[in-house]
Amino acid sequence: MKIAQFYENKRIRLGVVQSGSITPLDFEGDMVGFIGSGGVAIPLSGQPIALDRARLAPPVTRPDKIIGIGLNYKDHAAEQGAPLPDEPRIFAMFPSTLIGPGDPITWDAALTSQVDYEAELAVIIGKTIKNCPEGEALEAVFGYTCANDVSARDIQLQKAQLVRGKALDTFCPLGPWIVTADEIPDPGALYIRSWLNGELMQDGHTSQLIFGVPALIAFLSRSFTLVPGDVILTGTPKGVGAFRNPPVFLKDGDTVTIEIEGLDRLTNPCRCHSL
């Protein structure tokens, strides 16, 4: 099942995506509430809305946690000449980073001039877990979606402020919807790509993950409780702008698209402004 959040009269509704349209669910609440209630099948309500007429929201808008994983693809480590990490490298992001399909990625030119894209598989947690064994980890997944872990490299690398460089407002596009876990039997067997203004920049595969989804969930749940709606960004493959020669950074007017096999595409325009 593909389940999305969309705006209806300034409020968020849930809907099932099928055959180029979105049909509202008979549920009063958002995605976190739906997942927390058990995420069980509920009746459709109302007439289908053509996707090109619906304004999609991020598939999760108020997660308890957004957890990023750094340097988690073998080919991404190789492109920067970095050794493989011994354990997952974790950082946190905030709900204010979240935007949906078609929403602009924005930044202040006085704050950063090195804004980068990162195609990532995002995992949406489906139940409360603590100290989850790796062999049971996929049972805790509600579904998956596309993410763009936008990064201000000058803040992240030159100023050594990882969280600040990753957590500026609008820096976590998510969507277009959640594909439930039953449709993605192996999250370690998916093609993942990004395009910048129609040019292919990243062409990777989740088999390159250093720590796969089960290992990440088990590792994270040993440190803190994961709850329904938590978002885990699993890392990015090679081809990011910072490690190209010459580097390629996002600029005003650009368009970035993230595609993951089985999950569709997430596209966002870029807007640079000065305060």
DSSP secondary structure letters along 100-158: -TTPPEEEETTT-S-EE--EEEEEEE-S-BSS--GGGGGGGEEEEEEEE--EEHIIIII
Angle, vertex CA 271, rays to CA 255 and CA 124, nearest 5: 65
State how beta strands 151-152 and 191-196 pair.
unpaired
**Could you list the pLDDT tens digit for every one of the 275 residues in the chain?**
999 999 998 899 999 999 899 999 988 899 999 999 887 667 677 789 999 999 999 999 999 999 999 999 999 999 999 999 999 999 999 999 999 999 999 999 999 999 999 999 999 999 999 999 999 999 999 999 999 999 999 998 777 788 999 999 999 999 999 999 999 999 999 999 999 999 999 999 999 999 999 999 999 999 999 999 999 999 999 999 999 999 999 999 999 999 999 999 999 999 998 76
Specify the pLDDT at position 157: 79
Of 121, 116, 38, which Cα lies nearest the Cα of 73?
A: 121
Q: Is the peptide bond before 176 cis (omega within 30 degrees of 0)?
A: yes
Rounded CA separation 219/232 (Å): 12
Question: Which phi-psi region, left, alpha or beta, contains residue 38 (left: φ > 0; alpha: ψ -120 to 50)?
Answer: left
Q: Name which of 41, 32, 1, 30 is nearest 230 in CA terms.
A: 32
- Predicted local confidence at residue 156, as pLDDT: 86
d(CA 144, CA 180): 6
Domain 58-273 has CATH 2.60.450.10: no
pLDDT at 53: 94
